[in-house]
């Protein structure tokens, strides 16, 4: 299967690229600069472009069988909360996802997998108080955009899956991710490598179509 990863330079995106290649998929990454492209080596193909620009996304989506979206803001969350992001649009998640959906409709691509975050959409109300406070005080604008992103996906007519990890870490991979379509968790932290495997697995399994998968 030919799979496009939008947001491939982030930790989960990179992990998804690795997992997709391991599963035998033909992978394309969408990156903003040639320098970012070079960091992937010879494994995936690459398209240079910005996810917030519809024409760039349209060009990237064309010719693929599935799209994975792992967009986000990697800057310091305190700085983002106080001053806004310096290098990424605050609405990158919703805008980039909407652009991907529009391009997929034009090019007849059905399979969409989108990483959001545990605690929005289908898992709203499941967070402990400490995480609710963090969402409100530290990550408010980013979570608000993720809620919009969740709605954009639900309103699409595509074969979508929403993947919702808990708190991401760079810990060593210690086994298969725990996944659930009922919002169940095995803990409140998960390695990005596990999230990457969950994203790649979702592409291949029809039982996740129009479902929200929690990952822990």
CATH number at residue 205: 3.40.50.720
Q: What percent of the chain has pLDDT over 70?
A: 100
Provide the domain limits for residue 59: 2-215
How much is the pLDDT for 42?
A: 87
Q: Which regions in the chain score pLDDT beneath 70?
A: none
Closest CA to 186 of 176, 173, 201: 176
Buried b (16+ CB within 10 A) or exposed e, 43-70: ebebbebbbbebebbbebbeebebbbbb
* Alpha helices in the chain, H assignment, sequence order: 11-22, 34-38, 54-61, 77-83, 92-107, 129-137, 140-155, 192-204
Residue 213 CA to residue 163 CA, distance in Å, equals 5
Q: How many domains does the chain have?
A: 1
pLDDT for 78: 81
Specify burial of residue 36 (Cβ count, 10 A radius: 0-12, 13-18, 19+): middle
pTM over 0.85: yes
Rounded to an integer, what distance in angstroms lies between the CA atom of residue 178 and that of residue 39?
A: 29
Question: Which of 1, 2, 15 is CA-nearest to residue 115?
Answer: 15
């Amino acid at each position: 299967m030919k799979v496009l990863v939008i947001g491939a330079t982030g930790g989960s995106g990179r992990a998804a690229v690795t997992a997709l290649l391991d599963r035998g998929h033909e992978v394309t990454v969408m990156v903003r600069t040639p320098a970012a492209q070079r960091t992937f080596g010879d494994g995936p193909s690459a398209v240079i472009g910005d996810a917030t620009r519809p024409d760039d996304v349209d060009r990237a989506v064309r010719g693929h069988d599935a799209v994975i979206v792992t967009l986000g803001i990697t800057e310091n969350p305190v700085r983002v909360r106080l001053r806004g992001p310096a290098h990424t649009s605050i609405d990158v998640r919703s805008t980039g996802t909407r652009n991907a959906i529009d391009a997929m409709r034009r090019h007849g691509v059905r399979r969409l997998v989108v990483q959001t975050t545990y605690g929005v959409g289908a898992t709203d109300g499941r967070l402990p108080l400490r995480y609710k406070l963090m969402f409100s005080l530290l990550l408010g604008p980013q979570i608000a955009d993720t809620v919009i992103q969740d709605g954009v996906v639900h309103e699409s007519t595509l074969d979508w899956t929403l993947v919702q990890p808990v708190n991401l870490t760079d810990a060593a991979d210690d086994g298969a991710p725990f996944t659930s379509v009922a919002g169940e968790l095995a803990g409140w932290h998960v390695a990005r490598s596990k999230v990457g495997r969950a994203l790649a697995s979702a592409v291949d399994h029809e039982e996740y179509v129009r479902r929200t998968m929690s990952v822990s």
